[in-house]
């Protein structure tokens, strides 16, 4: 498929949005769709559970003015009619590495949200040579003290604390992924524990958390900050589980500063 032409347009919220070029590549015998915008050092944006590339709609325009931004839909997620492999959490970080190789990314900055943060963390710990800088946005991977059913109330609270504009995006992507994919991935994710990987991360790391995230609270960020060698933590006031969407201006400014060489918040740093 030939890439579509990049253009600027007004999205449904009256904001100017850069339309990245849409592309496909073969990964593991299946076609995988991704998007590209801008020029410069590569930055890969990886969405979370029930997500898609649309979760970064309020960030890609600013980021693509400075970097070549790649947005990827994980297997089983994102709108499209392609034959899709079943999403398997245990194989997803290997899939992400295979996708990077397929599109010619030998090394890139990785930015992952929630489940995507978990995957980027795993990649950084297992293959440090492919990661420049690492940004983990409300990442999953620390075992909670509640069951999958017990996660339902925090999930509803997370939706309440987030931007009302985000709800249609969430509903659409959840319907596309389907309940079985979401439940299976959520169950597997709740059983994961990344604590053994944290000290293996060599990349400079910025942890970004929403102050009002009740799904994965900022206290998890404090635990990760203490274990990742070269890390810093930024808590964005008023944001929920999706700070890149809830507070895009603050999020983009912090991300650009960090990717440009700053280490992170002066008062919340490890290393």
Output the CA–CA distances (angstroms, integers) from residue 185 to 37, 107, 110, 174, 180, in the order listed. Answer: 29, 27, 21, 12, 8
Q: How far apart are CA 147 and CA 144, in angstroms?
A: 8
Q: Is 53 helix (H, G, I), strand (E, B) or coil?
A: helix
> Model confidence over 229-239: pLDDT tens digits?
999 999 999 99
Residues 6+ apart with CB under 8 A from 138: 113, 114, 117, 208, 209, 210, 213, 215, 216, 241, 242, 243
Across 136-164, b (16+ Cβ under 10 Å) vs e yields: bbbbbbbebeeeeeebeebeebbbebbbe
The predicted pLDDT at position 154 comes to 46
Question: Does residue 148 carry a pLDDT above 50?
Answer: no
Sign of CA dihedral 159, 160, 162, 165: positive
> Model confidence over 82-132: pLDDT tens digits?
556 778 888 999 999 999 999 999 999 999 999 999 999 999 999 999 999
Question: Does residue 11 carry a pLDDT above 60?
Answer: no
Domain ranges within the chain, ordered by starting residue: 7-265
Sign of CA dihedral 244, 245, 251, 252: positive
Which of these, 183, 169, 219, lies nearest to 51 by C-alpha position? 169
Which one of 3.40.1350.10, 3.30.930.10, 3.40.50.1820, 3.90.226.10 gives the CATH number of domain 7-265? 3.40.50.1820
204 neighbors 230 (Cβ within 8 angstroms): yes
- State the pTM of this model: 0.82
């Amino acid at each position: 498929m030939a890439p579509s032409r990049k253009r600027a347009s007004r999205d449904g919220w009256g904001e100017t949005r850069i339309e990245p070029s849409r592309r496909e590549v073969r990964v593991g015998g299946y076609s995988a769709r991704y998007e590209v915008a801008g020029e410069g050092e590569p930055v890969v944006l990886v969405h979370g559970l029930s997500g898609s590339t649309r979760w970064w709609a309020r960030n890609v325009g600013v980021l693509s003015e400075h970097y070549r931004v790649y947005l990827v839909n994980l297997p089983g997620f994102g709108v499209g009619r392609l034959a899709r492999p079943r999403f398997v959490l245990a194989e997803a970080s290997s899939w992400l590495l295979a996708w990077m190789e397929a599109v010619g990314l030998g090394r890139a900055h990785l930015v992952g949200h929630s489940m995507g943060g978990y995957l980027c963390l795993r990649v950084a710990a297992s293959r440090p040579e492919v990661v420049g800088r690492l940004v983990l946005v409300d990442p999953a991977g620390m075992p909670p003290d509640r069951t999958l059913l017990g996660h339902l109330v925090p999930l509803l609270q997370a939706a309440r604390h987030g931007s009302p504009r985000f709800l249609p995006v969430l509903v659409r992507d959840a319907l596309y992924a389907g309940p079985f994919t979401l439940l299976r991935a959520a169950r597997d994710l709740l059983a994961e524990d990344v604590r053994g990987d944290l000290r293996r991360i060599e990349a400079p790391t910025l942890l970004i958390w929403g102050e009002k995230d009740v799904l994965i609270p900022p206290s998890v960020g404090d635990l990760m900050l203490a274990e990742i060698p070269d890390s810093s933590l930024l808590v964005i006031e008023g944001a929920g589980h999706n700070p890149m969407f809830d507070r895009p201006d603050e999020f983009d400014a912090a991300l650009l500063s960090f990717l440009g060489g700053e280490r992170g918040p002066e008062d919340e740093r490890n290393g």
